[in-house]
Amino acid sequence: MKSKIYKWGIFFFMAISFIACSEDPVVDSTSDEIITQKARTTPSGELVYSDLGSTYSKTQARTIFAKTLAKAIQNNREIKNFIYNEAASEYNGDYEVLYLMVKDRNVAGVPFHQLLNDTSRTLQHAQEVTPDFFSNEVLKADPKLTIFLDARYFERPEIYDMPVSVGVQSAEIDDMQTTGYTAFKEDGSEYVVTEYTPDTVLMGVKENERLEIFNVNTFNSTDGRHITKFLSVTALCNSFLQHIIQLFITAIIDGDQYLIVQVTKLYEIYRCICLGDCGEPDADGDGVPDAEDDCPNEAGPASNNGCPEDQCTAPNCDRTTFDKKDEIYRFKFNNCAAYSSTSELFEGKREMRAVVVYSYLDPVTNNVISTDIKKAGSFTKNSLRDANFWGTCQSTKWVTANWETFNWDYCTHGEQIKVFWYEEDPGQWGTFNLTVKFKLGPVDINSSLDIPLTNKDDILGESVVQYCDAATGSGTLYNTGSIQFYYRLKP
């Protein structure tokens, strides 16, 4: 079911470009026809749920998200800047960030959803949080989940020094009738906020009312209504076709393959709405027609006759047993020759760099994405080697780095990563192409990433780290030819 949820994101961009108005919502939220949320009676009253099958209500999901976001901002101030930069684009006319658009974006080399997930594990929540909550479940619960900022925060430069609170707009209470919102401070404490204050930045977590999200295969919105419910066919068809033609011309001129994909999807919509040719029924939106789908109500690839493939099962080893981040524990030069081969002997410190490269399959495009985490430190010559009276290297020393990297999830990142080392020197900038094998069960693909280097940087080799290499205690020892290092789980 996970792949089905991610499909909503592709058509979102098309809906904004060709259907939505930048000033007005795509749908009239005052229309009774639009209000189709499901309510379920619980011991505490009625809760509003989405139509996508989550066990979390919308308000429950927003509350977990808000509490976690506030704490995550305290732990990593780059998250705050990331949200401000995204909101400043005003993609829909407001200072808003649609979580669906940004959850896989990297913040300091780590996907946004992973930072939230790591933070959530340190918090106490009223409801248990599933491991895939921030990567998947929260979108099932509230597909249009949005972070909102008031315009005043973009008019005052001092906001970057203010603490942040995150408030929750309840799905069960009409916003116009609300006298206060539950909000969370960065320390995790909860309070009721009734107004904007000059000493705190207030972010709001709510549902976006200015757009609608559609499944790219069924053309149904997240609440199950077909796109034709939102559009006036008579007025739309001619101008819609002209937009598609112009986009196609642009794609040919620019050689943009992504635009070609957009043209294809948009023409399917045009053909369905304007020509009445909507293709064969596909209830689960997996691209396999119901007539050929062995599991018509569950999404799955055509290679498996439309049925979900077996869930990924991580092997039974250290990283599966302990849910912690990895780290580069300590390192040293192999010998004095390796130490002396670096081109510059600094009077004070040496700038050592390690780059951890890993890959994953993008759940929307099914493309392999390679990313990296750069670690850096300055170490004195005495901390790296022993020397005699004249300064000649006699032996090299172990130095402790404790460079934290990432939570290695087997079912996301596969079986292998690569660690690349160099010693940094001043010079002109260039790149080094580092290849890494992405392996996840039957998937075995070579991927690559360009590492920025100067023309005087000293390359010190690389090592492949396997998921099931010993990772407890001191971890496993690796040798690049110039550098030895221990890579392990953080204790």
Is it the case that residue 456 has pLDDT exceeding 60? yes
Mean pLDDT of 260-281: 72
pLDDT band at 275 (very low <50, low <70, confident <90, very high): confident
Mean pLDDT of 122-129: 82
Is it the case that residue 330 has pLDDT exceeding 90? yes
- CA–CA separation, 42 and 49 (whole Å): 12
Mean pLDDT of 102-125: 90
Residue with tokens 């890579």: 487
- For 353, the token pair is 């760099």
pLDDT band at 484 (very low <50, low <70, confident <90, very high): very high
Contact 449, 372 (CB under 8 A): yes
pLDDT tens profile 360-394: 776 656 667 778 888 888 888 788 888 776 677 88
pLDDT of residue 36: 28
Write a three-state SS string for the chain. CHHHHHCHHHHHHHHHHHCCCCCCCCCCCCCCCCCCCEEEEECCEEEEECCCCCCCCHHHHHHHHHHHHHHHHHHCHHHHHHHHHHHHCCCCCCCEEEHHHHCCCEECCEEHHHHHHHHHCCCCCCCCCCCCHHHHHHHHHCCCEEEECCHHHHCCHHHHHCCEEEEECCCCCCHHHCCCEEEEECCCCEEEECCCCCCCEEEEEEECCCCCCECCCCCEECCCCEHHHCCCHHHHHHHHHHHHHHHHHHHHHHCCHHHHHHHHHHHHHHHHHHHCCCCCCCCCCCCCCHHHCCCCCCCCCHHHCCCCCCCCCCCCCHHHHCCCCEEEEEEEECCHHHHHCCCCCCCCEEEEEEEEEEEEECCCCCCEEEEEEEEEEEEEHHHHEEECCCCCEEEECCEEEEEECCCCCHHHHCCEEEEEEEECCCCCEEEEEEEEEEEECCEEEEEEEEEEEECCCEEEEEEEEECCCCCCCCCEEEECCCEEEEEEECC
Taken in order 256, 257, 263, 266, the sign of the CA dihedral is negative
Q: Which of 164-173, 203-212, 335-344, 363-372 has the highest mean pLDDT?
A: 164-173
Q: How many CB atoms lie within 10 A of CB 491?
A: 12
User: Going by C-beta distance under 8 Å and a sequence separation of 6 or more, which residues neighbour residue 402?
Assistant: 327, 328, 329, 330, 490
pLDDT of residue 489: 95
pLDDT: which is higher, 385 or 147: 147
Q: What is the dihedral of CA 48, 208, 64, 54, to 10 degrees?
A: 50
